[in-house]
C-alpha cells in the first residue's frame, strides 16, 4: 500500500568520538525514506530553501521515492542542525539549530498523494502535523513522532494529534514525560488512553517496547552492533523500516507489527554504523535480511 512521509530535510554538522561530519545531509524525512525504500515505494513531503546543496533526486536515484511533494522555496533557508555525541553516545547534544523553512507553513500535499494509506508524521510541531494529516483523505494507519519540547510547550496540540493517529513513536524519556509515569509499561498504557491504539517506546541500546490497546506487549532488544559512529537518524530509520514493511505487507495486526519493529531495529543498526546516510546507502536488501535472521535467532529461546 502507498506510504507517505512528511518531515525535515536538513544540513547537519555532527561531532562524535569518531570524527566530524560537516554540512552533511540529514533530516527525518530523508533518513525515513532511505530506510523505507528497501521495502515500499515512498511518497516524500518536505521543504528546503534555495541554499540546499543536495540534489535529492540524485540521492534517491534507483529507489522508489517520489519527490513530487518536495518544495524548494526561493526566499527561504534550509533547516540546519549542529549536534554532538560523547562517551557512550546515548544522547545527542544540540549545539545549534536553525529552523529556517521548518518555521514556515508546511508543504502542500499533492493531489496524487492524498489517497495514501500509510502515513508517517515525522517529528515537528503538532499543529503542523495536524495540518498535514488533514490533507490526506482516508489513511489506514497513521504513525507520528514527537519530542520533549512539544510535550512541554505544545501539549494541547499534541493531545489533539493523539486523538487522530493510530501509533505514537517516542523515546523512553519522552514517554515518561508525556505520561507523567516512570514505569514504561504504565507509561505506554497511559499514552494509549490518549488516543493511539499502538505506542512504540524506543530505549536506545536497550531496544524497544511496543504496547497496544488490546493489552498486548512486545519487547525487542537492539541489534548488538559492533560499530557505532553516528547515532543521528537512527530513530527515523527505525520508523522507516517499520512503516516500510507494514506498507509492503498491507497489514496492521500485532504480529505484523512485531515483525515491522524488528526490521526497524535492523535498519537503525545500519544507520549508526557511519555518518549521515553512508550506513544505509552501503547496504542491499540481502544485508537487511541476513541481519534480521540474526536478530531472530538471538531472541529465540
pLDDT of residue 89: 86
For every residue of 231-278, DSSP letters joined together read: -TTHHHHHHHHHHHHHHHHT--SHHHHHHHHHHHHHHHHHHTTSSTTH
Query: Torsion-angle region of residue 62: left (phi > 0), alpha (psi -120 to 50) or beta?
Result: left
Ranges of each domain in the chain:
3-298
pLDDT of residue 1: 86
CA distance 38 to 15: 28
For domain 3-298, is the CATH number 3.40.1190.20?
yes
Cell of 212: 497496544
Please, are residues 21 and 276 in contact by the beta-carbon 8 Å criterion? yes
Classify strands 42-49 and 65-73 as parallel, antiparallel or unpaired. parallel
Is residue 23 within a helix (H) or strand (E), and if so which, with residue range?
Answer: strand 19-26
CA distance 132 to 114: 10
Cell of 160: 489533539
CA distance to 119, 120, 223, 227, per residue, from 259 (Å): 18, 18, 14, 24
CA distance 63 to 90: 31
Specify the 3-state DSSP secondary structure of 161. Answer: helix
pLDDT by position in tens, the chain (length 301): 899 999 999 999 999 999 999 999 999 999 999 999 999 999 999 999 999 999 999 999 999 999 999 999 999 999 999 999 998 888 888 999 999 999 999 999 999 999 999 999 998 889 989 999 999 999 999 999 998 888 998 999 999 999 999 999 999 999 999 999 999 999 999 999 999 999 999 998 899 999 999 999 999 999 998 889 999 999 999 999 999 999 999 999 999 999 999 999 999 999 999 999 999 999 999 999 999 999 999 998 8
Q: Which residues contact 228 (CB under 8 A, 6 or more apart)?
A: 89, 272, 273
Specify the 3-state DSSP secondary structure of 48. Answer: strand
The torsion angles phi and psi of 141, rounded to 5 degrees, stand at -145, 120
Cell of 167: 501509533
Question: Reading across the β-sheet that carries 208-212, which strands appear in turn?
Answer: 65-73, 42-49, 3-6, 118-121, 141-145, 167-171, 198-202, 208-212, 217-220
Amino acid at each position: 500500500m502507498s506510504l507517505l512521509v512528511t518531515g525535515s530535510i536538513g544540513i547537519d554538522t555532527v561531532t562524535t568520538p569518531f570524527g566530524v561530519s560537516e554540512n552533511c545531509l540529514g533530516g527525518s524525512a530523508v533518513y525515513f525514506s532511505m530506510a523505507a525504500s528497501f521495502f515500499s515505494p515512498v511518497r516524500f513531503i518536505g521543504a528546503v530553501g534555495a541554499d540546499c546543496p543536495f540534489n535529492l533526486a540524485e540521492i534517491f536515484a534507483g529507489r522508489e521515492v517520489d519527490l513530487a511533494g518536495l518544495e524548494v522555496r526561493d526566499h527561504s533557508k534550509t533547516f540546519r542542525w549542529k549536534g554532538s555525541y560523547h562517551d557512550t553516545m546515548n544522547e545527542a547534544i544540540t549545539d545549534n539549530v536553525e529552523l529556517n523553512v521548518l518555521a514556515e507553513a508546511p508543504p502542500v500535499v499533492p493531489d496524487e498523494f492524498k489517497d495514501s494509506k500509510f502515513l508517517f508524521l515525522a517529528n515537528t510541531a503538532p499543529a503542523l502535523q495536524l495540518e498535514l494529516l488533514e490533507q490526506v483523505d482516508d489513511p489506514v494507519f497513521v504513525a507520528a513522532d514527537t519530542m520533549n519540547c512539544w510535550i512541554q510547550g505544545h501539549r494541547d496540540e499534541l493531545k489533539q494529534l493523539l486523538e487522530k493517529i493510530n501509533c505514537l513513536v517516542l523515546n523512553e524519556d519522552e514517554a515518561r514525560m508525556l505520561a507523567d509515569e516512570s514505569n514504561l509499561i504504565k507509561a505506554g498504557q497511559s499514552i494509549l488512553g490518549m488516543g493511539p491504539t499502538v505506542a512504540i517506546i524506543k530505549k536506545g541500546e536497550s531496544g524497544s517496547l511496543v504496547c497496544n490497546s488490546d493489552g498486548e506487549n512486545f519487547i525487542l532488544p537492539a541489534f548488538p552492533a559492533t560499530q557505532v559512529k553516528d547515532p543521528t537518524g537512527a530513530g527515523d530509520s527505525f520508523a522507516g523500516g517499520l512503516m516500510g514493511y507494514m506498507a509492503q505487507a498491507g497489514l496492521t495486526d500485532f504480529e505484523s507489527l512485531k515483525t515491522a519493529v524488528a526490521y526497524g531495529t535492523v535498519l537503525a543498526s545500519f544507520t549508526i554504523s557511519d555518518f549521515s546516510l553512508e550506513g544505509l546507502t552501503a547496504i542491499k536488501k540481502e544485508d537487511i535480511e541476513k541481519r534480521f535472521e540474526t536478530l531472530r535467532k538471538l531472541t529465540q529461546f
